Chain A
Amino acid sequence: MSISVNGSTEKLPEDPRVSLLDYLREHLQLHGTKKGCDQGACGACTVLVDGERILSCLALAVQYEGRSVTTIEGLASDGAPHPLQEAFIEHDGFQCGYCTPGQICSAVGLAAEVRRGVPSHVTADLSAEEIPLSHDELRERMSGNLCRCGAYNGIVAAISQTYANQEAR
């Protein structure tokens, strides 16, 4: 039983009770993914599985056999930060930083969903082929990621610059 994490093949735990979050943090020592609420309410544990954002705290690791997981540690390429990581630094998209890995992984998944045309709660026209990533769309689509410092303005600006190609306010 194996799983791919940030490009390397890893052995899954024997105990089916181990969450994907605990597996990443405690078994693989990948501490970038954070445990906030451990009950699916805060989004701090968000990772990408085959490019889709999920909550690793509500995922049993064994369910993801054969899948490809990307964590915050896997977003950089050749030592250079991901463009969204650069944007978070530029726009002060954090204060304490605890929610940041989840925010960034979530936004990477968000961008793929928007490109695919997945509608959101605030999408006016469900039949639209393309959905622009407006300020309201961005905020709604990121509502599963909480930031207790309240760095939302910087978070929205960073994601907007990276994926909506515009300065949000």
Chain B
Amino acid sequence: MIPFTYARAADAEDALRRGAVAGARYLGGGTNLVDLLREAIERPGTLVDVTGLPGTIEETADGGLLIGAAARNTAVAEHRAVRTRYPVLARAIVAGASAQVRNMATVGGNILQRTRCPYFYDPGGSRCNKRSPGQGCDATDGFNRSHAILGGSPSCVATHPSDMCVALAALGAVVHLRSSGAERTVPLTELHRLPGDHPEIETVLEPGELITAVELPGLPLAARSTYRKVRDRASYAFALVSVAAALEVDGGTVRDVRLALGGVATKPWRAWQAEEDLRGGPATEESFRAAAEAELAAARPLRDNGFKAEMAKRTITAVLGELAGGGA
């Protein structure tokens, strides 16, 4: 690791002051950043430890929850209100990483974790536009079985690896941000940027801006929600495809639905098209499949990941069927 200075932030003000220094990075549980420091992919001059900032989970006025950014992933998954009112979020979190990693990782850090694209992780031997802007991408023509079929560009096809974020995207979560003198909120679905020509710019965060909390809206529909992850191993592996969904059916008609995909896109992927097609339509396997087809129409498979489109369609259809009670 290259040398850096370390400081533990006492509160948000302190963190912002220290984080304003050029080359500063906020440090959460370290499960991703420490690894990237060791690989010299991240080279911060200063680490500002924000794990001492609020990590509480509180009720909001509109029946939602406000989760402090320093909350550990385990703390969110075990919280009774999350388990009963937002099961998709608890299920997504426990589908990710291992218990040890979930005990360390914070909510803020989970959102800002970097891709696990093997070419990004190989500074000695591979070209990567995300790591070294303008260098080129060895994934596009390389072994790209794990890469994105949605949201990619000629510059980058790396997936966003988070499970938690897929659930947050489906739930319409809002991220609370703070910078010196200003606070703002951004929907999680608008926090991550598509790679375009600048895959090194991954979010809409300004330099030094800090995630302070994630807000889940009051969403009665979410009580009937789930997360399904398809991966190469039964546990402790990143998603090939994952689906976060909430569904409300009344008399055989879809009253409301929330749907997001993981493992297939360059950012947590809210399936807006499928949701629009499903609302007001019949809650049948045929219509679930048709909506999945519509969502994946934009898929651009690479050499090795063509299977993901069909896998995503089948997983969407199965999960919606399960939530509708058909157990498809």
Beyond A63-B27, A144-B98: 12 further Cβ-contacts under 8 Å? A16-B5, A39-B38, A40-B31, A54-B103, A58-B35, A58-B104, A60-B6, A106-B99, A123-B94, A126-B84, A127-B83, A144-B101
Q: Write the A17-29 contact mask toward B (1 if CB under 8 angstroms, else 0).
A: 1010000000000
28 contacts between A and B (CB under 8 A): A16-B5, A16-B47, A17-B1, A17-B4, A19-B34, A38-B38, A40-B31, A52-B103, A53-B99, A53-B100, A54-B100, A54-B103, A55-B100, A58-B101, A60-B47, A63-B8, A63-B49, A110-B99, A117-B78, A118-B77, A119-B78, A120-B99, A123-B94, A127-B83, A127-B84, A139-B235, A143-B234, A144-B99
A141 interface residue, CB < 8 Å from B? yes
Choose among A59, A113, A120, A121 the residue that contacts B104 (Cβ–Cβ < 8 A): A59
Is B100 within 8 A of A144, CB to CB? yes
> What's the Cα separation between A127 and B146 when bound, in Å?
34
Of residues 23 through 54 on chain A, the ones whose CB sits less than 8 Å from some CB of chain B are: 38-40, 43, 46, 52-54
Given A17-B3, A119-B77, A121-B235, CB of A63 within 8 Å of CB of B51: yes
Q: Which residues in window 76-122 of B have CB below 8 A to A? A: 77-78, 83-84, 87, 90-91, 94-95, 97-101, 103-104
Type the 1/0 row for B14-37, where 1 means its CB is closer than 8 Å to any CB of A: 000000000000010111001101
Contacts of A139 in B (CB 8 A): 235
Contact of B91 among A55, A65, A126 (CB under 8 A): A126
Given contacts A16-B5, A43-B98, A55-B104, contact A118 B30 (CB under 8 A): no
- Collect the chain A residues with CB atoms within 8 Å of residue B99's CB: 53, 106, 109-110, 113, 120, 141, 144
A58, A139, A145 interface centre (most CB from chain B within 10 Å) = A58
The 10 residue pairs across chains A and B that have the minimum distance between CB atoms? A144-B98, A16-B6, A143-B235, A126-B83, A118-B78, A143-B236, A17-B1, A55-B100, A58-B34, A52-B103
**A30→B1 CA distance, assembly (Å):** 23
Is the CB of B266 closer than 8 A to any CB of chain A?
no
Interface residue count on the B side (C-beta < 8 Å): 37
The residues of A with any CB-CB pair to B shorter than 8 Å are 16-17, 19, 38-40, 43, 46, 52-55, 58-60, 62-63, 65, 106, 109-110, 113, 116-121, 123, 126-127, 139-141, 143-145
Asked if B74 is at the interface (CB within 8 A of a chain A CB), the reply is: yes
Contact B74 A40, beta carbon cutoff 8 Å: no
Cβ-neighbour of A54 out of B38, B84, B104 (below 8 A): B104
Per the bound structure, the CA–CA distance linking A116 and B99 in Å amounts to 14
A126 near B236 (CB under 8 angstroms)? no
- Measuring CB to CB, which residues of chain B are less than 8 angstroms from any residue of chain A? 1, 3-6, 8, 27, 29-31, 34-35, 37-38, 47, 49, 51, 74, 77-78, 83-84, 87, 90-91, 94-95, 97-101, 103-104, 234-236
Complex Cα distance, B67 from A122, in Å, reads 24
Interchain CA distance A59-B4 in the complex, whole Å: 15
Q: Are B103 and A53 in contact (CB under 8 A)?
A: yes
Contact among A106, A121, A126 with B100 in the assembled complex (CB-CB below 8 Å): A106
Chain B positions within 8 Å of A145 at CB level = 98
Which residue of chain A has the shortest Cβ distance to B104 in the bound complex?
A54
A39 adjacent to B35 (CB under 8 Å): yes
Expressed in whole angstroms, the Cα–Cα distance for A55 and B32 within the complex equals 12
Asked whether A126 and B4 contact (CB < 8 A) given A39-B38, A118-B74, the answer is no
Chain A CB within 10 Å — which of B3, B49, B83, B90 has the most?
Answer: B83
The listed residue (B34, B77, B95, B236) touching A60 by CB distance below 8 A is B34
Residue of B nearest to A56 (CB): B100
**Contact, CB under 8 Å: A58 / B98:** no
| CA distance in complex: A119, B98 (Å) | 13
Which A residues are CB-close (under 8 A) to B29? 58
- In the complex, which residues of chain B have a beta carbon less than 8 angstroms from the beta carbon of A119? 77-78, 83, 90, 94
Task: Give the chain A neighbours of B234 by CB distance below 8 A.
Answer: 140, 143
Indicate if the CB atoms of A59 and B103 lie closer than 8 Å.
no
- Neighbouring A residues of B38 by C-beta, 8 Å: 38-39
| In the complex, chain A residues whose CB is within 8 Å of the CB of B3 | 17
B103 contact set on A, CB distance < 8 A: 52-54, 109
User: Given the complex of chains A and B, what is the CA–CA distance between A54 and B73 in angstroms?
Assistant: 12
Q: Which residues from chain A contact B84 at a C-beta distance below 8 Å? A: 126-127
Contacts of A144 in B (CB 8 A): 97-101, 236
